[in-house]
């Protein structure tokens, strides 16, 4: 068993009606469930922010969601308050087959740093522990699905490729936000890193 499906942030706040809704985000749940049935292992990630997280626009006077600011670790897009720990918005979509998960990885829980990638915080140094888990299990091939394609999915896939995994992004099982051309940049970066787009 060397293959795993990593499902990124299929949570209520990223689905229609949520605080940071991705268009069509709920439309990929059935396909992801079907893909889980074929995967050797399944890992789910869950955005898990404390109230007042530094990536929330509400914490920056005079700033609005989708503005970009410089934080100690670099450029940070500011978001609406979302996926607050223990909230309905932070819960997985009700139709997602969470019972199939071997592991659920929570990220973004440090109040002063955001975490797009399943592997590293946004400083691109602080590990989440996922790499160690996968290596311990002998997993070398990763497929990615979920939300949002141009942020958390892309960052996770790029980090996985940098760490030496064979990586594919399942394009039809992802949806994106596309802020100021972020989708095109994500595809360019993924192709440059030899990530499969299938």
Catalytic residues: 9, 107, 152
- Six-digit token pair at 63? 């700033």
Q: What span, in angstroms and rounded, lies between the C-alpha atoms of 101 and 121?
A: 22
Cα–Cα dist 177/160, whole Å: 21
Nearest to 48 by CA among 126, 104, 7: 104
> What is the torsional sign of CA 176, 178, 184, 186?
negative
DSSP 3-state assignment of 155? helix
* Cα torsion 44, 166, 181, 23: sign: negative
Phi, psi angles (nearest 5°) of residue 63:
-105, 155
The number of CA neighbours under 13 Å toward the Cβ of 187 is 11
């Amino acid at each position: 068993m060397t293959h795993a499906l990593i499902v990124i942030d299929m949570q209520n706040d990223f689905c229609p009606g949520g605080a940071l809704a991705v268009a069509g985000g709920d439309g990929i749940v059935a396909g992801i469930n079907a893909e889980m049935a074929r995967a050797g292992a399944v890992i789910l990630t869950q955005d898990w922010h404390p109230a007042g997280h530094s990536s929330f626009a509400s914490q920056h006077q005079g700033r609005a969601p989708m503005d970009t600011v410089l934080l100690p670790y670099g450029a940070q897009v500011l978001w609406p308050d979302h996926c607050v720990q223990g909230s309905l918005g932070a819960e997985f979509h009700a139709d997602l087959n969470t019972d199939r998960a071997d592991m659920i990885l929570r990220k973004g829980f440090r109040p002063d740093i955001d975490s797009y990638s399943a592997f590293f915080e946004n400083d691109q140094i602080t590990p989440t522990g996922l790499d160690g888990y996968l290596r311990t299990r002998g997993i070398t091939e990763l497929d990615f699905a979920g939300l949002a394609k141009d942020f958390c999915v892309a960052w996770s896939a790029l980090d996985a490729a940098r760490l030496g995994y064979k990586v594919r992004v399942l394009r039809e099982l992802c949806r994106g936000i596309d802020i100021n051309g972020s989708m095109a940049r994500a595809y360019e970066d993924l192709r440059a890193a030899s990530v499969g787009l299938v």
